[in-house]
Structure formats: C-alpha cells, structure tokens
Amino acid sequence: MVVERTHALNIQGISSLVPLGTGLPLVAKMTYALNIQGISPPVGRRNDGGRVVVLAIVFGLLLLALSACAPLENTPPVVKIGLIAPFEGPSRPLGYSALNGVRLRLQQWNDAGNSPRVELVALNDNGDPDLAAVLPEQLAVDPDLLLVLGPPQGHTALAALPALTKNELPTLSLAPLPDDSSPWVQPYAGVDADMQAALARYAPEAPVARELPLAGPSIWVGDAQTLAGLVQATPEMAPAAGVVAAEPAFAAWAAEAADGMVWALAVPDDLPPDFAASYQALAGSPPQPLAALAYAATDRALQLIATQQERSGLASDLNAIPAPPIQVFQRQGGDCCLLLSPDF
C-alpha cells in the first residue's frame, strides 16, 4: 500500500501532479493547490491520517520557531554608543575619519568576543551647530545607549554641550571645549587652555575662537569655510587653528593661502603598533590624526562599559580619563599633517 502526496510550485501556486504508474495499487493520493485566492480543498479521497501528520509537522515547526526566539544563554548583552559628526556637507571627510576610527575599535572588540557587545549609533550633524544642538535628544531616548563620542568640530561640540549635559549623556568630546565644567562631558580633545599652550609659539596669547567676530588674532576651531575666508582676507587674524585646518574643504576654499597653516589636535601616544595598517584595511586610506583620537576614545569608552552599564556611573568614571597630548601640525603643499611636535 502506498500513500502518495505530491506538491508542485508553479506561477499560480502549487498544483497537483499525477504520479506515473508504479505497478503498485494507489490507496490514497493527497494533493494541495495554492493559488492567489487561497488554498483549495484537497483532491482525492479523504485521509484523516494524512491530516494528522500535517498538523503534527505544523505544530513542530511552530515550536521550533518559538525556541529560536528565546535568548541564548551564551549570547553577550548588547549596548550602544553614539557618535555625532558631519557625514554630509563639506566636512564629510572629517566625519568619516572619526567614524572609521570608531568602527575599527568596535570591530576589534566585538570580534574578540568581549562582553558586552557594542553597537554604534552615528548621527550626522552636517557641521551645523543648530543641528548638533538637538541630536543629543535623539540619542537620550534609547536606554541601551550608554555613552556618546563627538562632535569633532569646535563649533558643533560647543553647541551640543548643553543638550548632552541636560540629557545626562556621558560623553567624550572629540573637539576642544572651553573648560571641563560639565559633569557629563569629558573634553577628551583638551580644553582651550591646552590648545593655547600647545600653539603659544605660533599664536602667542591668542584665544580659542569658534564664531565671529574675532576680538583679535585667534586660534580658530570652528568651520572650514570661515577659516578659509580669514586666511585669505586677514591671515593675521587666524595664525593657528584646530583640526579644521586639516579638512580638504579648507584647502580647496583657501587655495594657496592654506599652505603653511599651523594647527593642533590631541593625538594619543599609546596606539597599537598595527593601528595604521588596520585602519587602512578597513577604510581604504591612511588614518588622519582625528581617526587616531576617535579610535582611542572608543577604546576608553569600551573599557568603562565593560565594568559599568549605567550612565550615571559612566559619567563619574569619565573624570578619571586623561586627555591625550596635543600635537602640532602644519600644512605644506598637498600634505595636511606634517608633524611639528613629537611623532604620534
């Protein structure tokens, strides 16, 4: 005795197939047809035993699906960190330099099986301080997001500072801040006094500036277009700058006036030996100094998150993180980053 069930998928659905002769008597033949209207009734003699088998298979598949939804005991928890940076507009290369530095360290952390696993939430501030000022609100609503990196530009970092503090988001700033007065934001790129000390030889007694008008010669850490206008029209008003001077947009706008520009950025001196090679393998280009800062900030964040998954606790721990030393660079020809201070 043979029970044959045949199924065939065609354009309309599943049609019945009539088996070729086998020389054996056919006791029951069940066929199923699925078309765009639905499922047609079975063709052939009723077979309750076959229906029981089908129901058992469906029940087993349902149990399998439900078990797949259950969390695995050995799966590490997942938390998130945020990054605010310009991913569109003229400062896009600067944003992606930071992004790839963060991505590299997260990839290494997660591939090593560390706990917790950490995901990245990257928000584009477009180099716009008004946009940067509201992005922390979006990050704060996610309870799994524990810490924020950025922004990397001085004017957007200052604009985001009030919202980062108000929403109690532990943050490692990738741009220099006026001071370290916020209990939630650690100026990982240093404060204005650090920039002034590092650039005193090139811009003696010059204050750090992020917006116009300038009271006198200043260290510009704001946007690239304003810096380009300053060095073309009144170069004595911008004798030095922050990482904005490394941006391709600044070089394009300032043209020959960009050559010789001195600038500074906090750059860690304890990077792993294979950092540059690993970064190039990921990003397809050599790392700029900001990528090193972002990589090191991510590493600091991961070390904290490994032992603390509460925002309030992380904020307290941030105070113990020292800022990397500030390095001084100069633009020469097509090279944005000729190192004037000790090698990083």
User: Which one of 12, 36, 69 terminates a domain?
Assistant: 69
Is 95 among the domain residues? yes
Residues 61 and 151 in one domain: no
Residues 257 and 302 in one domain: yes
Residues 177 and 213 in one domain: yes
Rounded to two decimals, the pTM is 0.79
CB distance 95 to 152 below 8 Å: yes
Residues 151 and 201 in one domain: yes
pLDDT tens for residues 229-240?
999 999 999 999
Residues 108 and 168 in one domain: yes
Q: What is the pLDDT of residue 76?
A: 74
User: Which one of 43, 69, 95 terminates a domain?
Assistant: 69
Residues 196 and 143 in one domain: yes
Residues 34 and 105 in one domain: no
Cα dihedral 82, 87, 88, 90, rounded to 10, equals 130
Residues 277 and 218 in one domain: yes
Residues 243 and 318 in one domain: yes
Is 344 among the domain residues? no
CB distance 231 to 258 below 8 Å: yes
Q: What is the pLDDT of residue 113?
A: 96
Q: What is the pLDDT of residue 51?
A: 54
Segment holding 338, helix H or strand E: strand 335-339
Show the domain range for 226.
78-339
CA dist 119 and 105 (Å) reads 11
202: domain CATH number is 3.40.50.2300
Distances (CA, A) of 113 to 19, 116, 117, 118: 53, 9, 8, 11
Residues 63 and 163 in one domain: no
Residues 128 and 185 in one domain: yes
Q: What is the pLDDT of residue 48?
A: 54
User: Which one of 69, 95, 110 terminates a domain?
Assistant: 69
Q: Where are the beta strands (DSSP E) in 252-305?
A: 262-266
Q: Where are the beta strands (DSSP E) in 108-261?
A: 117-124, 145-149, 171-172, 185-186, 208-209, 219-220, 240-241
Residues 153 and 214 in one domain: yes
- The total of structural domains in the chain comes to 2
Walk along the chain (344 residues) in steps of 10 and give the mean pLDDT of each run.
39 36 38 36 48 52 54 75 98 98 98 97 98 98 97 98 98 98 97 98 97 97 98 98 98 97 96 98 97 98 96 93 96 92 56
